[in-house]
Chain A
Amino acid sequence: MIYLRLFLTFLKIGFVGFGGGLAILPLIYQGVSKFTDITKEQFANFFGISQATPGPIAVNAATYVGFEAAGIPGSLCSTLGVILPSFLLVVIFTKFLKEHRDNRLVDGAFVGIRPVTLGMLLSGVWFIAEGALFVSGGEGMLGVYQGVDLPVLGMALISFGLSLSNKVGAIQLIIAMGALGAVVFS
């Protein structure tokens, strides 16, 4: 039954997926290509969509694949599958933390992991910057950076300054820069 298989496939992805959306995408392709007729092209389309739509990337992927494979009920099954592991693990872990947060070993673990998560976040900056800032050359020169997208760099720096000084809320910033982009780049 396709619904159950969608649910189970995404349940598995939810349990083993680490490090956020883009890291999970190849896993999703492997998982779903086994039993649905989603083409590589459809999935490549999704990669574009994932950059262009709001929301968690893994949830978006689950919704898209489920919808293409089995309509709206399919998208509900796969989305439920991908969020269920998060739900269970975080609830169990938060409960555990409530009682043991002050334990020396638990606190020590936080001391060790915190800088790693900061490194992961900065790595995310790097990854997004590569995609957003560098304009690669024409055909035949793929992967060669030809220049920096200066307007985007400028807007990113302004956003950085405004956010760092806590002057503008994150959502206002997204809306303002989106509107500016629609006017300037169209």
Chain B
Amino acid sequence: MEQKPSIKDNMYLKLFIEFFTLGLFTFGGGAAMIAMLQDRLRGKHWLSEDEVLDCITVAQTLPGVVAVNMSVFVGYRMKGIKGAMVSVLGMVLPSLVIIILVAIFMEAFEENPYIIGALRGIRAATLGLILATCFKLGKQILDKSKKERAQMVITALVFPLAFLAITFWKMDAVWAILGGLVIGIIYGLIRMKEEKA
């Protein structure tokens, strides 16, 4: 007996709804989007934990909009080009509607004390969420690198250096990424040589 697939099981629809929800509820840009996506994908069995980590790494490494990069990555992995299109559409649709409404009703929006209060609360939640995500991803990255001493050393050195350089020395993130890339490739080359020997 074959069950008729319900519309709810349609993966395209699921992708659209997921990214529409993310676009609607994420305040504060790329870092917040990473925290939200990491939380939402947990327990969904769409991507493995390692793939989620890859997604976050790739989204921050490639140029473009971090949130859009993530939606394309997940959409494409799940359902190819069409999946990527549906996910991006879901991600940007709330922005389009809300920004146009805000541009029209700017003043009423700016002066409403409830909105201002709600935004302070949302900013607090966002801050906690991103910090929690840093801990979770940090643990995951450390666990992965425990397999090999060299990876541990790279992680332990590069992470604090990147944080300091971007935050306090105002280094452009591109240079930090290129630095990580060079170190990583050198590590890869050494490992290849060792395997040959």
Contact = CB atoms under 8 A, between A and B. Distances in A.
The answer to whether A and B assemble together is: yes
Contacts of B68: 56, 59, 83, 86-87, 90
Interface in B58-75: 58-69, 72-73
Q: Is the interface of B mostly helix, strand, loop or mixed?
A: helix
B186 to A, nearest CB: 8
B100 interface: yes
A149 B124 CA distance: 10
A75 B100 contact: yes
B2 interface: no
Interface string B135-160: 11110010001000001001101111
Nearest to A101: B54
A54 B25 contact: yes
Interface in A78-119: 79, 82-83, 85-87, 89-91, 93-95, 97, 101, 104-119
Q: Is the interface of A mostly helix, strand, loop or mixed?
A: helix
B96 A63 contact: yes
B67 to A, nearest CB: 4
Interface of A: 14-24, 45, 48-60, 63-64, 67-68, 72, 75-76, 79, 82-83, 85-87, 89-91, 93-95, 97, 101, 104-129, 131-133, 149, 151-164, 166, 169-171, 173-186
Q: For the complex of A and B, list the 7 residue pairs with the smallest distance between their C-beta atoms, beginning with the closest.
A: A181-B121, A112-B184, A108-B188, A159-B128, A124-B31, A119-B162, A20-B30
13 contacts: A17-B64, A19-B174, A56-B91, A59-B65, A104-B191, A112-B180, A112-B187, A116-B162, A121-B130, A156-B125, A160-B131, A163-B133, A174-B27
